[in-house]
Amino acid sequence: NNCSQVDKGFTFDAGNTTSTAAITNSTINNFSSFLPSVPLDVIGRVLPGNTFNGVLAGATITVLEGATITRDATWPGKLGAIPLTYAMLASMATIQGTDGGDTVTTLTIQAGAILNFPSGAFGLDVGNGAAITGALVVTGTAVDRVTMSSSAGVPVAGDWYGLNLSTTASASSNIAYLTVRYAGRSRFASSNDACVRISSGGTLDNVIARDSLFNGFFFSAGSAAMTNASTQTVVVDGVRVGGGSP
């Protein structure tokens, strides 16, 4: 709290996936593009509320292994005016828990953020499909969309699995101006795989699914509302409904 650092400022060891550290009201100067390595469930406790000076274009946060986001968190889309890229090392990130006054662990991803997943990654699951809920809020805009994509140097359709709103994803999930690319890798069954798979409630607006190995969007259950969506370069269907009442 209330400290100033030069160069990298802070980082976490690669094996540290359970830290409860919080960094607030601090200034990190001359940050360049060498942003810290941060555990998945700690990002929301170290990025918001601090000042980062000297951030260069291409700034990247390395998101360390750690499968679950259990605490309410906000991931900034920019540091100053520089869009922020999150290099996801985890094969799958799951939002689930009972944090906060609403007892629903919620991840908020702000406008401009870029999340890049490695080849073969399951991607981002909202809820765990069993008993524990979770929520995703994406606050992209027409000018600054949020992007989820592949980290491959030459990405291709099906590099990773995609965004999955499981059966326990909260209806409070609200996703706006999100682009999901190079996903749709076969996880469930080829006809049911998609850049965005929806099995719950919630709202999606101005979401783009593109470069999918199978479908753009797949609805398997639930009553999610989707408006102003579009698909580009998908192999099977742009939108496929296998169940539910979207």
Summarised one tens digit per residue, pLDDT across range 42-93 is: 777 666 666 676 666 667 777 766 668 888 989 989 877 888 888 888 778 8
Q: How confident is the model at residue 15 (pLDDT cuts 50, 70, 90)?
A: very low
CB-based contact 71:46 (threshold 8 Å): no
Q: Which residues contact 136 (CB under 8 A, 6 or more apart)?
A: 95, 106, 107, 109, 124, 126, 163, 165, 169, 173, 175, 202
Of 6-20, 205-219, 224-238, give the lowest mean pLDDT range: 6-20
Q: Is a pLDDT exceeding 90 seen at residue 137?
A: yes
Nearest to 96 by CA among 65, 71, 60, 66: 71
Element (H, E) at 20: none
The answer to whether the Cα torsion of 198, 96, 90, 1 is positive or negative is positive
What integer pLDDT is reported at residue 129 of this predicted model? 63
Amino acid 172 reads: S
- The encoded tokens of residue 208 equal 């783009």
Confidence at 132, pLDDT banded by 50, 70, 90: confident
How many angstroms separate the CA atoms of 17 and 10, rounded? 15
pLDDT of res. 62: 72
pLDDT confidence bin for 3, thresholds 50/70/90: very low
Q: Tens of pLDDT along 152-195?
A: 999 999 999 999 999 999 999 999 999 999 999 887 666 789 99
**Cα–Cα distance, 14 to 35 (Å, whole number):** 14
Are residues 54 and 81 in contact, defined by beta-carbon separation less than 8 angstroms?
no
